[in-house]
Amino acid sequence: MVYSHDAFGLGNIRRMLAICESLLKTIPQVSILVVSGSPALHSLRLPAGLDYIKLPCVGRDQAGEMASKYLDADLKDAVKLRSDLILAATRNFKPDLFLVDKKPDGLESELKTTLNYLRAIRPQTKLVLLLRDILDRPEATIQQWQRHGYYQTIANRYDQVWVVGTPAVFDVRTEYRFPREVAQKVRFCGYIRREPGLKPPEILRQEIGVQPNQKLVLVTPGGGADGYRLASTYLASLAALPSADSLQSVIVSGPEMPAAEREALRQQAANFATVQLLEFTDDLTSYMAAADLVVSMGGYNTITEILSLQKRAIVIPRTQPVAEQWIRAERMAQYGLFRTIHPDDLTPTNLMELMLQELQASPFNPAAAQLDMNALPRITEYLFALLRQPPQCLLKPLSSQAPLCPLEVAIP
């Protein structure tokens, strides 16, 4: 059973679905039930063997406060409803392993009743917390975890903590001052290697209309809720390009971009015959594989797709409400994995100058091949070990994979 609260964006649920799909491919006769509040869950490709329960949406209102997103209910009632649904699903599904994304006691503590139930009634269920590589600035994360008692919850309730990242880039144990009883439960998995897209690059480039003398640039601001400035600045940079016809551009605005902003982008893009604006695609990897350059924000999934495909990229991360994207972008840019621009320095001129440099470089980025991208097979091995079952069903044992590269760190 997988829990993903998803109050903002597509990142959490896409990451969890990638893990689920890998487990379904690797382990025969496994069933996975996802409980999530993601409003986009129904539009994502779901693998066979997985089903889901959609929780009522909650998110931040215009004042930045958590609130029920669609139901005419206050936050307390919405969280109570979500909590009851999670508990009922757990009682009936009886999971062998419960994988919790990011928040040890759930959004607004909605997992507490389920955690109590598992400890009292189903102590045999293994409980695992999954963390992305970086949560936020260390001082902010430490304060939040202390305030909510997360360290104690992990120490008392969880069997392991799986981190889909590497300590070479960011070591959560030291950065977030994990107590010893929490740090010893951490297992670094490496980053998630993304699966190939549905269409070959040459076919997609032909469909888009890319000519032999043109380069293709993909612009993706993730879910799009705060991606308008990035996309608009990119279009403004095209206006300053001496020969804009030398580029074909695909901008995927994201399903969460406000309608008024998407319409403003559409009007701005209408000035360029070589720009296509899409609201959403469930096959972003195909577009990325076809592109000569990616211009994106710095979310975990987008970055791992860039690294999986070893693409040239310019990353303009968000810095609010958390600094996770900027920390990731800054650390990885230091390794030469891609180029980055701080949003405070983002201008059409700066963006176009960096784009021209990257478009003249080799399409293949050798630095991207150095990062540990073996999260999915490692997660399968950790799952078998935790459930005390031999990993006889693995498609490919971890030991048969390529040796660790310079940025990879051996797991103790």
pLDDT classification of 153: cutoffs 50, 70, 90: very high
pLDDT classification of 64: cutoffs 50, 70, 90: low
Work out the mean pLDDT of the chain and round it to a whole number. 91
DSSP 43: G
Q: What are the residue ranges of helices labelled H in 94-221?
A: 112-121, 138-148, 150-157, 172-175, 180-183, 201-208
With 50 as the cut, is the pLDDT of residue 401 above it? no
Q: Which residues contact 16 (CB under 8 A, 6 or more apart)?
A: 2, 4, 34, 36, 99, 101, 130
Domain edges within the chain? 2-194+373-400, 201-370
Among residues of the chain, what percentage have pLDDT more than 70?
92
Mean pLDDT (whole number) for 240-249: 84
pLDDT of residue 172: 98
Rounded-to-integer distance, Cα 181 and Cα 327, Å: 26
Assign domain 201-370 to its CATH superfamily.
Answer: Glycogen Phosphorylase B; (3.40.50.2000)
* Residue with more model confidence, 87 or 69: 87
With 50 as the cut, is the pLDDT of residue 233 above it? yes
Is 90 in contact with 110 (CB distance < 8 Å)? no
Mean pLDDT (whole number) for 106-133: 97
Rounded-to-integer distance, Cα 30 and Cα 197, Å: 24
pLDDT of residue 409: 36
pLDDT of residue 8: 59
Q: What is the pTM of this model?
A: 0.90
Do 2-194+373-400 and 201-370 come out as alike in CATH topology?
Answer: yes
pLDDT of residue 13: 87
Mean pLDDT (whole number) for 354-359: 95
Mean pLDDT (whole number) for 297-324: 96
Enclosing H/E stretch for 75: helix 75-93
With 50 as the cut, is the pLDDT of residue 396 above it? no
Among residues of the chain, what percentage have pLDDT more than 90?
77
Start-to-end CA span in the chain (Å): 27
Q: How many whole angstroms from its chain centre is CA 193? A: 11
pLDDT classification of 44: cutoffs 50, 70, 90: confident
- Burial code (b: 16+ CB inside 10 Å, e: under 16) for 337-368 equals bbbbbebeeeebebbbebbeebbeeeeebeeb
Per-residue pLDDT tens for 158-215?
A: 999 999 999 999 999 999 999 999 999 999 999 999 988 999 999 999 999 999 999 9
pLDDT of residue 60: 74
From 276, 285, 279, 269, select the one nearest 248 (Cα to Cα).
Answer: 276
pLDDT of residue 14: 87
Residue 210, Cβ density class (10 Å: 0-12 exposed, 13-18 middle, ≥19 buried) = buried
Q: In CATH, what is the architecture of 2-194+373-400? A: 3-Layer(aba) Sandwich (3.40)
pLDDT classification of 245: cutoffs 50, 70, 90: confident
pLDDT of residue 394: 46
* Tokens linked to 139: 């001082």
Mean pLDDT (whole number) for 370-395: 83
